[in-house]
Amino acid sequence: MRFGILASGSGSNMEAIAQAIDGQGLKGEIGIVIYNEPGAYVQHRAAVRRIPVVHLNHRDFGSREALDHQLMKVLNAHGVDLVLMAGWMRVVTPVLIDGFPERILNIHPSLLPSFRGMHAIQQALDYGVKITGCTVHVVVPDVDAGRILAQAAVPILPDDTPHSLRLRIQSQEHRIYPEAIADYQQHLSQSHVLS
């Protein structure tokens, strides 16, 4: 199975997925990393691993749909089977979702359905919850709303800052995302046999 990773930032989840492949906990290969923010550190991580990288700056496109049409072209040109959003800070449209039905996963830094959308970690701190976490889910047109595949809980400590909490959530993300992808591969292969 060939993965296409969409990322906007540091790429630590991309790195965790690549390490899971190295360690054979996850079968497949990363065929392409697409990033949108110029200078995003994910491009360096991908380059070190000699993974092909494409930069699509969303500011160069007139609409979300236009960006997603280009994403489709690049993903298909690289033979991608499963799209993994790993810190992709753009809302995706039916152009992409219908192009990869049930084949797009996302990781979100909260226990969904709490704290959807941007700034989930700050939202959790502002609300004063004592436990937050992260969620892997299937991507559907509603933001942060698809079927939940895996979650991990992370306690919020009295002296937590957004930074300290983010680090603890991300260490759980790096554990559950590769595991959830492997489980989802099983699910996809079984649905294929049954259909």
What does the binding site for ligand GRF look like in residue numbers (CB under 6 A)? 7, 9-13, 42, 86-87, 107-109, 134, 170, 173
3-state helix, strand, coil in the chain (%, to 5): 40, 20, 35
Q: Minimal distance in Å, beta carbon 9 to ligand GRF?
A: 4
Q: Minimal distance in Å, beta carbon 172 to ligand GRF?
A: 10
d(CA 106, CA 108): 6
Nearer residue to ligand GRF within complex by CB, 11 or 31:
11
Say if CB 138 and CB 104 are below 8 A apart: yes
DSSP state of 130: S
Nearer residue to ligand GRF within complex by CB, 10 or 70:
10
Q: Which residue has the tokens 């991908």?
A: 46
Nearer residue to ligand GRF within complex by CB, 77 or 157:
157
Q: Minimal distance in Å, beta carbon 166 to ligand GRF?
A: 7
Q: Does an H or E element contain 96, and which?
A: helix 94-99
Active site residues: 108
Q: Minimal distance in Å, beta carbon 42 to ligand GRF?
A: 6
Helix (H, G, I), strand (E, B) or coil at 45: helix
How many CB atoms are located within 10 Å of the residue 34 CB? 24
Say if CB 52 and CB 24 are below 8 A apart: no
Nearer residue to ligand GRF within complex by CB, 78 or 116:
116
Which residue in 177, 185, 110, 95 sits closest to 141, CA to CA?
95
